[in-house]
Chain A
Amino acid sequence: MSHGLLGAAVIVAQILLLLAMSFSIIRMVRGPRAQDRVLALDALYVNAMLLLLTVGIRSGSLLYVEAGLIIALLGFAGTVALSKFLMRGQVIE
């Protein structure tokens, strides 16, 4: 009974996170400005990391947690680089 509940909860959580990711992608496509797209990319990788954690819980494997850690690290570096670029460069939109 409780395990059916857990399975259902994980699937619902994954659907919610997929919706969250698609919202970020819509915002990334819609813009309107470059900073909106970078913000959406930032939200996208956080949601992807959370989705990986749910996949990890579902499969009972700790490997996904390490993948999540790496996504968090690389996503941070990417957003910082993009923000720096927005601040300095002549951005052609």
Chain B
Amino acid sequence: MSRLDALPPWAAILVAAFVLLGALFAFVGSLGLLRLENFYQRVHAPTLGTTLGTFFMLAGSITCFSVLHGRPIFYEILIGVFLTLTTPITLMLLVRAALYRDREEGSQDVPQLTPKD
């Protein structure tokens, strides 16, 4: 923990809060992955980690490194931009794949295709 000692107390407390909040949201998201009952419910859970979990963790990282280096360092923001762009794509693809597979098997829990298509 030697290099972190250079942080002033306010920054240390801020970073601690951000890191804890971020980890907490990611934790609850994964807990939901375990607890919720079916696939279509579970698919909502990891969004917690990719939105607020990542947001708080990146905020903590940006605060920490900007204060440590004495200049604004915010290229962590690229991770956030990238995740916000890609998460909807992966989740949508995954849900469509699941729906396709469920319909193939004739499951009654998913909405059926309208006769037109």
Would A and B touch once assembled, by the CB under 8 A criterion?
yes
A47 proximity list for chain B (CB < 8 A): 26, 30, 49
What's the A-B contact tally at a CB cutoff of 8 Å? 181
How far apart sit A65 and B57, CA to CA, in the bound complex (Å)? 11
Please state if B16 and A5 are interface contacts (CB–CB under 8 Å). Answer: yes
A9-B19, A54-B23, A65-B79 known; A87 vs B96 contact (CB < 8 Å): yes
Convert B19-33 into 0s and 1s, putting 1 for each residue whose CB lies closer than 8 angstroms to a CB of A. Answer: 110111011011101
Task: Name the interface residues of B28-60: CB closer than 8 Å to any CB of A.
Answer: 29-31, 33-34, 39, 42-43, 45-46, 49-50, 53-54, 57-58, 60
Measured CA separation A59–B39 after assembly (Å): 38
Question: B34 contacts which of A17, A23, A42 (Cβ < 8 Å)?
Answer: A23
Does residue B70 face the partner (Cβ distance < 8 Å to A)? no
Q: Decide if B57 touches A6 in the complex (CB within 8 Å).
A: no
Q: Please give me the residue from chain B that is nearest to A36 by CB atom.
A: B39
Hey, what's the 0/1 contact readout for B41-85 against A, CB within 8 Å counting as 1? 011011001100110011011001100100001011011001100
Query: Is A72 in contact with B82, judged by CB distance below 8 angstroms?
Result: yes
B5 and A50: CB pair below 8 A? no
Across-interface contacts of A43 in B (CB, < 8 A): 29-30, 33, 45-46, 49
Are B26 and A35 in contact, with the CB atoms below 8 A?
A: no
Interface residues of A (CB under 8 A from B): 1-3, 5-10, 12-14, 16-17, 19-21, 23-24, 26-27, 33-36, 38-40, 42-43, 46-47, 49-50, 53-54, 56-60, 62, 65, 68-69, 72-73, 76, 79-80, 83-84, 86-87, 91
- Contacts A35-B39, A83-B97 given; 7 further ones with Cβ under 8 A? A10-B19, A12-B23, A43-B29, A46-B50, A57-B19, A57-B61, A80-B89
